[in-house]
Structure 1
């Protein structure tokens, strides 16, 4: 075959199908095409062969996200979206899957398919994506929507109203998913009046279906529990949705797994052998951390898809209410430890991809309990130090932070702990994850140490009596 008759291939490398819309790209393709047409005209007709222009999608740079699997790319050109994406909505979708995005990754493998299931739900996904964009711009979660987020939510409300005009859709999977998306929207904003309203609505809809077990779509089932859990945690109220099967399987370590020897746990059981609700959860958390559950790449992938041990553990902590059983020392200490455990787990939850994790109700309630009861902690005082330490890290209220810092200084003085490093060892003796908390003390250390150096701080007996009761 004559070489001049062979087809000539010209490659145009693209990283995304949208680049076909670029004027410079189109001009380049036309020039290549016309040059080949001209070359063909100069050859004898009997020798003319076909000319092909190949559009090759190159692999993106490492800093870019690919679309090879769920959650890895900017905008999947092959996905079926419930709406036609314009420039703004395409950018919002891209922000969800960008590697360094502030958007919540937790259970994205569940709520993203639900988001694609209907128009109202998808518009709420876009509204939420905008809230996370605003977090990136301001450095903190906003508690008020901007015009773009409001516009997306308005579309969601309009689509929801249209759907609710037909009674057969009142308790459908798509409608329940849409209500769940509203719950998530108000949760991100920290608006729990709106969250409570939609939680009541979803409870009625699930009741119309005959119970949550009749929702067989796994993604929707997990999303309902997630929407319920995050708002319940933020307000410290019991979750009303039973655990999905996936979560039940992750809630405890496999039978026969080794148990760590924790002196604090043993001391609790010796002092309060009848109070096992909190310490049982504490033991499970200690074991899961020892087994490195939730901290490997495989476990982080599970956290982003169907959930890990964190969600069922939070549900268990929200379910127990020690003060409902009495106000004696054991029940009060159990309540304080319940707060401490949730405040300890909150940063781990964020590390696994949950965002936001609101803890202002927990820190406020903890202060109320600590000031409301005089308790002799005795040999279990490390539990009090551990709780106050993580409360000091979690609070965003400057007045609360000062109170927790002062409590830590008082506890250090009362325990004859002279150095900050000694206090950290006390905290670590209870429960600790070094890869998450290794430098956490930097944010509170100076404030506590400065309190200890104030003249007159050595006489802490009145404050100790308020915090610890008769022991002081």
Structure 2
């Protein structure tokens, strides 16, 4: 629907408009319609001495209205003359800068025209010289890691200094000492190979504790550590450094705990060669933490396969000189082993190991370890001496009666020192070791009370480490039978007998009580 009303136009003018015959145009006179715009004043730095300075005829005054859009000025430069007048030079510079800015704006307009589809708003960046950034200051001042860290790597590093530290160094934890936080992590911050090895170990530990499969990121950490080590082997100065040896030892330990013993053997052969280049294990006495890491990597695979360790050494040469003096005065046997020695006679070399075991057990059973005079690193060295003495000794395969007893004693001590160090937490016993234990625990070989007590102690140690349900049921049934032979009726009586050999309550009581409960339930089922 269209409207029949015609539009009316209003024209405002300061003067009276002509009388139009068209009724649709109306002129509205107004005296106030004349608008006077202010003069255009140039902005910028003010000129000096505006009142006393005269304008030169070659430059027009800024106060005079210029009707033309362009202002021309003439400068006499004929015959090589240069303008010496200050105003003339300033006038020339001004025109040069005007032309420069005009050319710059034209280039910017051309750049905008090249992107017609770029949207309504186009931001043109100004040309600025880059901020100087020397190489040594071009990195984050708070980033002190030798490799590029991802968020999950920080979590793994935190796990290594907390939960993994209690597993790796449980003895030192009783004295409030954390070697992972005090020694290994600071050293890893200066070494990419060691840091990658620690991240690999931490991620494997996390997967083992949570029952997960190996993650691809763990393999990446391992490969990164191996690449860094291969590059370092080309440098004679860093080939056998402490951090390099520690990185290889960490890889060997983690590979063995992951069930890849062939890789462990490869790493141990490399460690053996590097230790020989350094002059033997005696050169690491000044660094007990690194010394223990080498021993741990060597022993973990040797116990699993019941083979001799790669780093062969004399047991007395392993220990600091101060320990060799004090050990001579600690000639005491545990009551259970003393009864065995009285009844059957034990080897003199094995007796020395038993002296050490009894001394270590008393140190660990201290009520307040931090207030005692025991040094945890020295105590750890004595435990390593026990393990090397057992693994470097005679073969376990003899069938003689006396040899069977000695084999049972040696296996029991190996299990005991591994339990108090939590070495079987991530690495279970091998089938070969379980078969050896079952072979030497046959009831026909334990005819006296002292032997039966030893058998009970060994069943408690081995049964707490077996994870397979079928194998564990065998140890539980044998434990119920041994308890009946010794007329043990409750856990307290069994615990007293265990303490006669070697028992650390704060470490072994929980698993021992669980084994006793299963044995009593099994005995009740058998009697029914």
Q: What is the TM-score with the length of structure 1 in the denominator?
A: 0.67
Matches within 5 A, 1:369-380: 369-371=440-442, 374-380=444-450
Q: Deviations over 1:230-278 (max 9, x none)?
A: 3323333333323797844687792575655643233222233352333
- Aligned 8 A contact 1:250 1:312 in 2: no
- Which residue of structure 1 lines up, in the alignment, with residue 310 of structure 2? 240
CA distance in structure 1 between the aligned counterparts of 2:232 and 2:330, rounded to whole angstroms = 52
- Aligned 8 A contact 1:110 1:220 in 2: no
- Which residue of structure 2 lines up, in the alignment, with residue 226 of structure 1? 296
CA distance in structure 2 between the aligned counterparts of 1:212 and 1:430, rounded to whole angstroms = 32
Matched, 1:90 2:115: no
- Which residue of structure 1 lines up, in the alignment, with residue 477 of structure 2? 406
Indicate which of 216, 226, 231 corresponds to 1:157: 226
- Aligned 8 A contact 2:319 2:385 in 1: yes
Q: Deviations over 1:146-205 (max 9, x none)?
A: 022122112112222333345665545454333223212213323212111111122123
Matched, 1:452 2:523: yes
For structure 2, the 5+ residue unaligned runs are 1-140, 171-178
- Aligned 8 A contact 1:225 1:244 in 2: no
CA distance in structure 1 between the aligned counterparts of 2:283 and 2:363, rounded to whole angstroms = 35
Matches within 5 A, 1:265-280: 265-273=337-345, 275-280=347-352
- Aligned 8 A contact 2:360 2:379 in 1: no
- Which residue of structure 2 lines up, in the alignment, with residue 336 of structure 1? 408
Matched, 1:297 2:370: yes
- Which residue of structure 1 lines up, in the alignment, with residue 251 of structure 2? 182
Indicate which of 368, 386, 395 corresponds to 2:457: 386
CA distance in structure 2 between the aligned counterparts of 1:377 and 1:297, rounded to whole angstroms = 43
CA distance in structure 2 between the aligned counterparts of 1:336 and 1:131, rounded to whole angstroms = 33
- Aligned 8 A contact 1:336 1:366 in 2: yes
CA distance in structure 1 between the aligned counterparts of 2:285 and 2:483, rounded to whole angstroms = 53
- Aligned 8 A contact 1:115 1:121 in 2: yes
Higher RCO, 1 or 2 (CA under 8 Å, sep at least 6)? 1
Residue 379 of structure 1 and its aligned partner are, at CA, apart by 3.1
Higher share in helix: 1
When the two chains are superposed, the root-mean-square deviation of aligned CA atoms in Å is 3.7
Indicate which of 268, 275, 278 corresponds to 1:206: 275
- Aligned 8 A contact 1:239 1:318 in 2: yes
Change (3 A) 1:229 1:117: farther
Matched, 1:126 2:195: no
- Aligned 8 A contact 2:353 2:389 in 1: yes
CA distance in structure 1 between the aligned counterparts of 2:434 and 2:323, rounded to whole angstroms = 25
Matched, 1:283 2:355: yes
Change (3 A) 1:356 1:245: farther
CA distance in structure 2 between the aligned counterparts of 1:221 and 1:259, rounded to whole angstroms = 27
Residue 403 of structure 1 and its aligned partner are, at CA, apart by 0.8
Change (3 A) 1:115 1:167: same
Residue 339 of structure 1 and its aligned partner are, at CA, apart by 1.6
Aligned length: 373
Matched, 1:430 2:494: no
Change (3 A) 1:440 1:166: closer
Change (3 A) 1:299 1:162: farther
- Aligned 8 A contact 1:322 1:332 in 2: no
Residue 408 of structure 1 and its aligned partner are, at CA, apart by 1.3
Q: Name whichever of 262-271 and 188-197 sits farther off.
A: 262-271
CA distance in structure 2 between the aligned counterparts of 1:271 and 1:154, rounded to whole angstroms = 56
Indicate which of 409, 434, 449 corresponds to 1:363: 434
Change (3 A) 1:354 1:244: farther
Q: Deviations over 1:126-151 (max 9, x none)?
A: 11111223345x1x5x6x52022122
- Which residue of structure 2 lines up, in the alignment, with residue 263 of structure 1? 335
Look at both structures and tell me which one has the larger radius of gyration over its CA atoms: 2
- Which residue of structure 2 lines up, in the alignment, with residue 13 of structure 1? none
- Aligned 8 A contact 1:275 1:330 in 2: no
- Aligned 8 A contact 2:256 2:301 in 1: yes
Change (3 A) 1:366 1:162: same
Matched, 1:315 2:385: no
CA distance in structure 1 between the aligned counterparts of 2:324 and 2:237, rounded to whole angstroms = 40
